[in-house]
Structure formats: structure tokens, C-alpha cells
Amino acid sequence: MGLVNTGTTRIAIVAALVISGIAVLVSGFAKGGGAVALPSGGTSPTPSVSTGPTHSRTPTPTSTLSPSAPADVKVVVYNAAFDQPNSIGIAATVSMKLQNAGYVPAAAPSNGPTAIPKTIVYYSTRGDSAQHQADAQFIADHYLHGAKVQQLGTQYANVVPASADVLIFLGGDYLKH
């Protein structure tokens, strides 16, 4: 009888447990997804005690609104990576890509007021701020590699056109994609 590699055996056992766990989860979330019926009798379930640490991440809240039609969104693109080599023309390139997708330029692409390391997509608080946020998130996810989205503050009030719904500041990270 030959020797069995205990490392291989352990891997096989862990794999079998993972597959079993997936099967349990899949059957536990079967289609229909209605509410779970609680037992009658007025008793509450017994709490369980965890013996190990739990690690969970709270998902970042996102807007539940659908993005607007591109023709209804005014966008301006700034090169905020102008301090990086090979950054010339990136704002124009991204602006043209968005125009080809139907977005409306609120202003000609240009250099931003300051250089930043990471791309940020701002949304205007003018008008329907929640809709502008949904539009900014869609653009960030589909055109800008999931760039950070945040509300436009007062820091660029004198720089950006008032008509813009979404403002894109391309950071140095954009050059790496």
C-alpha cells in the first residue's frame, strides 16, 4: 500500500467542503425568494454563538436611479494628469469617446486647475443631484475603469461651467489603463 500525500488529501477535503457549501447556498437561495415562514408558538429562535472572527465588507451605496439618455447629460472633461508624461490630449480623447456615445459636451476639454493622481468623476448639485449622481456613476463604470464618483463641492465653483451635469478630472491613473 503506497503513501498518500497528506497535503493533497487536505486539498481534496477542502474542495469537497467548498463544493458542498456552494450547493447548500444555492439550494437555500432557490428561485421564488419569498419570505421565510417563522414557526408558530410564540418562541423566538435561539441565537447562535460564533467561535471565530467574522470579516464582512459593507457595500458602498450606489444610486438606484437608471442613468439618463446620453443626449440628456452635459459632460466636461479635464486633464488633471498634465504633470505626467504622455498626458497631452487625454481630455480631448475621452471627451470625443463620450460624444461618440451621445453625451453632450458642456465645454471644450482642457487642463484641470490642479494635477491629481486618481481620476474623479464629479456630479453637479444643480437640478436633480441624484440623477446626476447616477449618470456620473454610469460614466465612471463604463468609460473610466470604475473611477471614484463624488459630489462637486465648492472647490471648482469658479472653474467649471454651470451647465455641466458631470465633470471628469482625469488623474495620472488614467494613463495606466
Residue 5 domain-assigned (yes or no): no
53 or 161, greater pLDDT: 161
**pLDDT score of 165:** 96
| For helices 129-143 and 90-100, angle between their N-to-C axes, nearest 10 degrees | 110
In-domain check, residue 94:
yes
Q: Does residue 164 fall inside a structural domain? A: yes
DSSP H helical segments within 29-87, as ranges?
A: none
CA nearest to 136, candidates 123, 124, 147, 125: 123
Looking at residue 6, what is its pLDDT? Answer: 66
64 domain-assigned: no
The CATH number that applies at residue 80 is 3.30.70.2390
Residue 127 lies in a domain: yes
In a domain, 100, yes or no: yes
**Cα–Cα distance measured from residue 119 to residue 167, given in angstroms and rounded to the nearest whole number:** 11
174 grid coordinates: 488614467
- Give the domain range for residue 108: 70-176
Q: How far is CA 113 from CA 104, 123, 127, 157, in A?
A: 22, 17, 24, 11
Cell of 30: 432557490
Binning pLDDT at 50, 70 and 90, where does residue 25 land? low
User: In this predicted structure, what is the pLDDT of residue 41?
Assistant: 47
Q: How many domains would you assign to the chain? A: 1
At 17, the pLDDT band (50, 70, 90 cuts) reads low
* Cβ pair 171, 140 in contact under 8 A: no
Percent of the residues in the chain that have a pLDDT greater than 90, as a whole number: 56
Does any domain span residue 4? no
Q: Does 8 map to a domain?
A: no
For β-strands 120-123 and 166-170, DSSP reports them as: antiparallel
Predicted pLDDT at 42: 47
136 pLDDT band, cuts 50/70/90, is: very high
**In the predicted model, what is the mean pLDDT of residues 56-77?**
78
Instruction: Pick the closest to residue 156 from 164, 147, 148 (CA basis).
Output: 164
pLDDT for residue 69 is more than 80:
yes
Instruction: Find all residues with CB under 8 Å of 56, minimum gap 6, and list them.
Output: none
User: Which whole number is the average pLDDT over 49-72?
Assistant: 64
**Taking residues 66-95, what's their average pLDDT?**
96
